[in-house]
Structure 1
Amino acid sequence: MNEQVVELSVAGELAAARDVYARAVRRATTALATEALSDRELIATLKLGGQHARLCDALLVAAIEQVHARNDAPRDERLTTRLGAKDAAELVRAATLCSGKAARTLMSAAKLTRRDRSMTTGELLPGRFPQLAAALRDGVISAATFLAATKPLNNAITRISAEDLVEADAILAGYARGHGNTITVDDGVGDIGGDDASLGEDADSLDDTDSGASSAALPPLDADDLAALARRITAYADPDGAEPTEKRALARRGLTLGKPKDGLVPINGHLMPETASQLERLLSAIINPRSTKGDVNLDEEAAAAGSDEPAASSLSAADAATAEEAAEAELPPSPDERTSPQKRHDALAAILNLAAGAADAPTLGGAPPTLVVTISAEDFERQSGWAHLDGLDVRTSWHAAQRVACIGVIQRVIHVATGRIVGIHTTGRVFNAAQRRAIIARDRECVIPGCHTPAAWCEIHHVQDWALGGATHTDNGVLLCWFHHRTLGYNGWHIRMTDGLPQVRGPQWWDPHRRWHQVHTTLARAG
């Protein structure tokens, strides 16, 4: 009878609180919908909403602890069996109407916060992370934050001493509550992980106070920051733990090219951190290039182009700057409408093209990598249709294959309808190093207005197609980034050469009169 009274009183109290809170939420949502709240009230609403959500987590985790406890029994006596649920996860989902992911989060937290009873006294014993568990029960942190903070320590639990674990738990709980590190170095925190470690000092340094007092009030750390601090603590307490992690990473590293589908080839894999970091830096260098103004030695450019006079003698620095500013004012930059993933794809393509053309690039059978394009005799004569690239069961347009040939050696295999090979043409129509240096000295970057992809990441395009008699000469080559090289002609941009200098004509939205404009990077030199 007493248990039933307690049961009803707890449920009744929660139901009454729910009704009060529901009315408050309805009033708040109405005020938010009508924008009736001030900035201060809006932030207060966000904070209070977070506090209530954390208190709900505390309630649910405590209840799920009991679910786990009542399932520690023979099958017929388990709570789930008696209620007709398949398992505890199904019971939690059905009772709370939450997702499977949310249920797993709550159940994982409940397993870590659950405390066993003493066999002799019947008292509850401390759990593995008593301080953080108390913060969860008090609604200071959410179940997800609790798991994020305990995961690094839990993964290294067999390699961390009990003393270090207690101290780490206290440090994390202190920062979660906004107290900072309430245990000083003299209390032993500085000894965590060994004599050489100084976690206590480092943790204290996070207090942004002049006095340096560890008990000074601090804003509570959010889930991400608390997890980062937990990883840092674990690194001190378990300095050798990184080696097994690296071994696992080495075993899992890999890169896979999938089967072509809808004209694209999927890519999947896992990169080692140093490889991913290097790739990220290279991608950033192309996607977000620094301005090239002032970074180029014009005398070296003049020498590369074959001139005996310093480039500066034909145009003063001030005049060059004025000319460039005037040119840029005349040529408005074109907006880059590519998505971020598309930009990264194009940057990766530029990196691969540059690597393939390097002097010490790997060879295939003793020869540089050669792109083999297979095309029918009919399509070759019409210069249209589809071509097949070697290495992948995928086709590409004739024009795309032609542009690919601008950056490397191409072997064209021509066949008739029966499959018989009727011609093999191998062309090495790549601009040589001296020509490339001269074109770089002239153009500096992609010649399309508004595109500042540096010259190092650009390809050299034959303005008059090589297949139509265009020469591999500096007067017929311009710098284009991978994207503009692939879309030239059908994206509204066109290029021509006049007296050895590139001119561009943009789409109508860029220049309603469709006039030819000299590229701004060469205008300064021609002035």
Structure 2
Amino acid sequence: MTGTRDPLEQLRSALAGVPWSEEAARLTDDELLAAMGALEAVGRLVDASRVAFAGEVAERSRVELGDQRLSTRRGCRSAAELIERVTLVSGAEARRRIALGGATRARFGFTGEPLAPEFPRIAAALAAGELGADAAGTIIRELGRARPVADPAVFAAAEQALVAEATGGGDGGPVRCTADELRVQAQAWSVFLDQDGREPDDERAMRRRGFRLGRARDGLIPVTGELMPEVAAKLTRLFDAHLAPRSGGGFMTDEERSRIAEFGETRTADQQRHDVLAAAIDTAARSGEHPMIGGAAPTVLVSVRASDIESGRGVAHADGVEVPISHRAARHMMCTGGTQKVVFDDDGRIITLGSPERCFTPHQRRAITLRDGGCLIPGCSVAAAWCEIHHVIPDADGGPTHPDNGVLLCWFHHRTIDTSGWGIRMLRGVPQIRPPAWLDPGGGWRPVTKSPTRLADQHDRRPAA
């Protein structure tokens, strides 16, 4: 124990004593890149050791050992949890190390004879510091899919070829593939090794399909998963339908439309796809075609203190996610879905339970839809069925939940209406809009609609030329 631990402690102390930021700032460009490469080489050796230790922890925590499992004896449910607690890494990282360690550690047969690792060439390159853990994991993950059906000799050749590409030992000389480049090559090898055709691949895809919400990071919830190809095709077509350029703004001139096309869209393509998905989820929840929860349509509960809403301090909380949401997001959801006042005493007992308020009825929504015809922001092509209803005068300011105070906005424009610069007001029950100053510095209020019937009426009322 001491023979292994003491050198590691000495290395840690030596590295901890270097002011890395100051050291990097003093280096020339060539020295900086050379030093970074040297540090990465050290990191590869450290990663190889981490993987080996994780694999050994997993081996000593095998299920068949029962109460003698290392993880059980240390009060943990699994090897991954034990590694998490000792190293303080995430569960995902612990599982990654275990998988890589299991695939590259030496094995033993039923009679105790030593066996080569599942991926012996990767194991050797990893232990020598020639192959990084991310590249090794990429090869193992991609080739592992074809291993059950691949010819062993061809499989070994594929492993050797990929390791050579990653370490610079291939025909291309010293140029190494990055982990991303290696993934593309490994996927090609996996397809070549799989001799079963598309039907078994489809069966594996059915088993592996999934959709996962990750842990909150930087105020966002990461999404991962694998979609069946036909589901991905449908989702892609849905995005295409809503993100395709369309002309909009019936009251606008051609010049104004061109300005919207040039300056109006500030979202990236990824952000636009996110907003389409948000609208699709809201539309599905309103459709009435999904299972009820507690006798009502699927509804997200958002809790926030009334004093915090009034003061603008603190945060709100939505059930189902661990990260708090902003007051802006809470007001957006309150405007869309209504509120219900719940009063607690100092001990947490419910003492007042109000009735749901501020929620537009289906009849009101249909009337507003006929009047507005879609998201009222010029240049926005989101259809009425995908829109939310925005209280023009907020409830907190005395605004009623009435068609004379509600307009259609898509998810994005509703979410950003307070900060985007677009102005909306109601004049005798008719919506009017004012563009932001950066788009039209001298712009005034104009009636707005995307209802084809109202647009036809406006056309008929125009004086003949």
Shift of 1:143: 3.4
Distance 1:64 1:135 in 2: 18
Among the aligned pairs, what percent are the same residue? 27
Out of 430, 433, 452, which is 1:504 matched to?
A: 433
Structure-2 residue corresponding to 1:235? 191
User: Following the alignment from structure 1 to structure 2, what is the Cα–Cα distance between the partners of residues 275 and 70?
Assistant: 41
Asked if residue 290 in structure 1 is aligned to residue 245 in structure 2, the reply is yes
1:64: how far off? Answer: 5.4
Return the match for 1:274 from 227, 230, 233: 230
2:424 is the counterpart of 1:493: yes
Matches within 5 A, 1:250-329: 250=206, 272-286=228-242, 288-290=243-245, 292=247
Deviation, 1:453, is: 2.2
Distance across 2 between alignment mates of 1:80 and 1:332 = 61
Q: Deviations over 1:328-375 (max 9, x none)?
A: 69x98487799768613454279879xx9xxxxx9xxxxxxxx9xxxx
CA distance in 1, matches of 2:49, 2:210: 44
Aligned AA for 2:151? S
- The yes-or-no answer on 1:348 pairing with 2:280 is yes
Query: Residue 22 of structure 2: which of 14, 17, 30 is its match?
Result: 30
Deviations 1:493-515 (A, max 9, x none): 14779xxx996335789878872
Question: In the alignment, which of 98, 101, 105 is matched to residue 110 of structure 1?
Answer: 101
For the 8 Å contact 1:493–1:507, the answer to whether it is kept is: no
Q: Deviations over 1:238-291 (max 9, x none)?
A: 142653453365578799xxxxxxxxxxxx9985332233223322542x4436
Q: Could you tell me which of 443, 446, 453 is aligned with 2:381?
A: 453
Deviation at 1:136, TM superposition (A): 0.8
C-alpha change, 1:80 and 1:342, in structure 2 (3 Å) is: closer
Partners of 1:153 and 1:230 within 8 A in 2 = yes
Determine if contact 1:254/1:269 at 8 Å carries over to the other structure: yes
Q: Taking structure 1 as reference, are residues 510 and 493 closer, same or farther at Cα in structure 2, changes over 3 Å only?
A: farther
AA in 1 matched with 2:234: Q
TM-score (structure 2 length as normaliser) = 0.54
- Residues 147-296 of structure 1 mapped to structure 2, 5 A cutoff: 147-179=137-169, 182=170, 214-222=171-179, 224-240=180-196, 242-244=198-200, 246-247=202-203, 250=206, 272-286=228-242, 288-290=243-245, 292=247
- The one-letter amino acid of 1:219's match is R
Show the counterpart of 1:57: 47
How far apart, in 1, do the equivalents of 2:172 and 2:403 lie?
79
Offset, 1:135: 1.6
Question: Quick one: which amino acid aligns to residue 203 of structure 2?
Answer: K
* Gap regions ≥5 residues in structure 1: 183-213, 256-267, 294-300, 302-319, 357-361, 363-370, 372-384, 389-393, 409-429, 440-444, 462-466, 471-477
Q: Distance in 1 between matches of 2:150 and 2:96?
A: 24
Question: 1:236: Cα distance to partner?
Answer: 1.6
CA contact (8 A) 1:160 1:237 kept: yes
- 8 Å CA contact 2:275–2:411 kept in 1: the answer is no
- Does residue 1:404 correspond to 2:365, yes or no? yes
How far apart, CA to CA, are the structure 1 residues paired with 2:366 and 2:166? 59
What is the CA–CA distance in structure 1 between the aligned matches of 2:415 and 2:182, rounded to whole Å? 46
Match for residue 516 of structure 1 among 441, 445, 453: 445
Residues 387, 410 of structure 2: 8 Å contact kept:
yes
TM-score calculated relative to the size of structure 1: 0.49
| Mapped partners of 2:403, 2:50: distance in 1 | 76
Q: Distance in 1 between matches of 2:338 and 2:58?
A: 63
Distance 2:415 2:135 in 1: 47
Which amino acid in 2 is paired with 1:453?
S
Letter in 2 for 1:178: G
Q: Offset of 1:28 from its aligned partner? A: 1.7
User: What does 1:349-388 align with in structure 2 at a 5 Å threshold?
Assistant: none
**Worse-superposed segment, 137-146 or 336-345:** 336-345
1:178 Cα deviation from its structure 2 partner:
3.1
Residue 138 of structure 1 corresponds to 128
Q: Tell me how far apart the structure 1 counterparts of residues 439 and 271 of structure 2 sit (CA, whole Å).
A: 20
Q: Deviations over 1:144-187 (max 9, x none)?
A: 442332133334432111112111111210121134xx4xxxxx
The alpha-carbon deviation at position 69 of structure 1 amounts to 7.5
The residue matched to 2:19 in structure 1 has which SS? helix
RMSD (CA atoms)? 6.3
1:200-220 CA distances to partner (integer Å, 9 max, x unpaired)?
A: xxxxxxxxxxxxxx3344332
Whole-angstrom CA distance in 2 between matches of 1:160 and 1:36: 52
Q: Distance in 1 between matches of 2:402 and 2:84?
A: 68
Question: Is the Cα contact below 8 Å between 1:283 and 1:348 reproduced in 2?
Answer: no
Contact 1:349 1:482 in 2 (8 A): no
Shift of 1:107: 3.2
1:493 aligned counterpart, secondary structure: strand
Do 2:338 and 2:357's aligned partners in 1 also have CA atoms closer than 8 Å?
Answer: yes
Q: Give 1:157's aligned amino acid.
A: R
In structure 2, give the amino acid aligned to 1:112: A
Are the equivalent residues in 2 in contact too, given 1:324–1:520 (CA < 8 A)? Answer: no
Query: 1:446 & 1:84 partners in 2: Cα distance?
Result: 61
Counterpart residue identity of residue 245, structure 2: R
* Number of matched pairs: 364
Q: Which runs of 5+ in 2 are unaligned?
A: 212-223, 290-296, 298-336, 341-354, 390-400
Q: Distance in 1 between matches of 2:104 and 2:403?
A: 77
